[in-house]
Amino acid sequence: MKSLAIVGGAGRMGQSLAARLGAQDDLSVTALVDVHEPRELFGARYVEALSDLDATGIDVVIEFSSAASVVTSANWCAEHGVALVIGTTGLNDEQRHQVEAASAKTAIIMASNFSIGVVLQERFAKLAAPYFERVEIIELHHDHKADAPSGTSLSTAAAIAQSRADAGQPALVDPTTHHVLAGARGADAGDGIMVHSVRLPGLVSHQEVIFGGPGEGLTIRHDSFDRQSFVHGVALAVRAIDNTPGLMIGIDSLIA
């Protein structure tokens, strides 16, 4: 049985993970780590920081907190040889560099989204990308999400751009020449792929990839209506990871 510590254990995602991962026969949530005391402990211990834990009792740290916290978790895991699964997005270049450095000493899996449906959406988008003239992405999230665009939309845009490049397709060029309001066309995520971010109460995590070509369009939409949609993917990562140093980006390879 693997023993887990969840960083960000008082947050909505942390609470959902604690409830559902702790119910698995082969997993045990040992500690919830957060500066705020969690509403529910689900049989786990509450600590304010990873440094309050005995590393010998933890197999995997799951990080769903802040970008700054990711670096702290990565350094602690590297120091103690504990595996790390990261679901936090919005890391800057320096923070990503520190995660990469930590992966030289311990195993790390980092994904912008752990939903199985999102992984499949990205696969489908890569298949469609070479066959359409234009594509745009609309990502919609709850109004407490700190970063925009979402890590998922950036990952999807990068996958589409790579698929188009592999097929010999040129970068997209925005046909709009007159902007009545600055930013109305969204943000260029690379190769002319525009991303539009929506933040509203009541939403969880949603994404549309919209392709257009002569006389037709294709929309690939994914909706996470509840945070339990991410639990399966996190569980796959936790079960797959060991202490062999290295960095895995995304969980696509874990899904047949």
The arrangement of strands across the sheet holding 134-141 comes to 187-188, 194-199, 134-141, 205-213, 216-224
Q: Is 178 a catalytic residue?
A: no
Contacts of 216 (CB under 8 A, 6+ apart): none
3-class secondary structure, 29: strand
Query: Are residues 125 and 206 in contact, defined by beta-carbon separation less than 8 angstroms?
Result: no
Distance CA 82, CA 114 (A): 20
Residue whose token pair is 């007159």: 178
Outline where the chain has alpha helix (H).
Answer: 12-21, 67-80, 93-102, 116-128, 151-166, 231-240
Catalytic: which of 80, 142, 145, 232? Answer: 145
> Cα Rg for the chain, rounded, in angstroms?
19
For 40-76, b/e burial (b = at least 16 CB within 10 A) is ebbebeebeebeebebeebbbbbbbbbeebbbbbbbb
The question of whether 126 is a catalytic residue gets the answer no
- Helix, coil or strand: residue 53: coil
**Which residue in 141, 196, 206, 222 is the catalytic one?**
141
Tokens coding 109: 């899996």
Residues annotated catalytic, as ranges: 141, 145
